A and B are shown apart, each in its own frame.
Chain A
Amino acid sequence: MTKKKTAVPKKMSKPSSHRHSHGQGHCVDLLRQLSAYIDDELPSNICREIRRHLGACPNCEVFIASLQHTVTLCRHRPAPQLTSVERVNMRRAILDAANAR
């Protein structure tokens, strides 16, 4: 995150997956910022650089899509609810425990 200015190169090589350069650090630097990008916490110039990189780097584009999907699924993961009987029983148990202490 401290390398925001240099994290994503302004000009990428050809968008060929065979020349993908994550081993050389460009995409690794991008990976560090993806949550901040998804959460819209980055300055506009950094976002622009990231979008430019994504347009030129299919692997990173797929990667960020899968991370975005992960966040979306987490946000919509269903949670079970208590029944009214469970609510009543738990309240009683809590008050019993409180009075016993």
Chain B
Amino acid sequence: MRATAPKTPPQQPAMREPDEFDRLYRDHVDLIYRYAHRLCGESESAKDLVQETFLNAYQGLKDFRGEARVSTWLYTIASRACIRMRRKRKGEPEHELSLEEFVPTSEGEFRLQIPIDGLSPEEALQNKELRQALDQAIEKLPRKYRMALVLRDMEGLSAKEVGTIMGLNERAVKSRLHRARLFVRRELSARGITHRDDHKSGGLRS
């Protein structure tokens, strides 16, 4: 991402960049939209983030040195753009999640469950109530924790890659991820979603 001497002859830069950009866009727009939607939680903000990401990528393409994977580079641009855009919109104030707040204070709280036993994840997520609870729990996460959760558990990146993208060491990534998972677990289990009898129509079986 740092400036470097152009590798190609300078006589046709205007031709080279659009071609490269089109390839970059074609190969990665779905990936970045998926990431953006998972971060933003809704379509319009996600599209804004995708546009901002690729606009920045277009302008930085000639300086991309290929030291990181292209997808890592784009994830990084998108993550930074997301932070900038949220600041502009005066989004939710960031707050820290401490491990202590996730320590159950009662036995009942300790034993709260998420009803997916015996179901595949896909079957479980056909339960609208559970799916909405998951969406809302992720939406409620402070951004820096949500970003770690999305990149690691949804995008499937390694802790090292997430660290590169977020500018953190692996230990910090794992710490944020753990708190994020505990937060979502608490939100989901506290909703008291139970097994339902309408499995055939998409609910959970009892």
Contacts and interface: CB of A to CB of B under 8 A. Distances in A.
Interface of A: 17, 20, 22, 28, 31-32, 34-36, 41, 58-60, 62-63, 65-67, 69-82, 86-87, 90-91, 93-95, 97-98, 101
Judged by DSSP, the binding face of B is helix
Contacts of A82: 29-30, 33
B166 interface: no
27 contacts: A17-B111, A20-B110, A22-B103, A22-B104, A22-B110, A31-B103, A58-B111, A59-B110, A60-B110, A63-B104, A63-B110, A65-B113, A66-B112, A66-B185, A67-B182, A67-B185, A70-B181, A73-B130, A74-B181, A77-B38, A77-B125, A79-B37, A93-B51, A94-B25, A94-B55, A95-B21, A98-B58
Contact of B113 (A62, A76, A98): A62
Interface residues of B, number: 51
Contacts of B104: 22, 59, 63
Contacts of B113: 62, 65-66
B121 interface: yes
B54 to A, nearest CB: 5
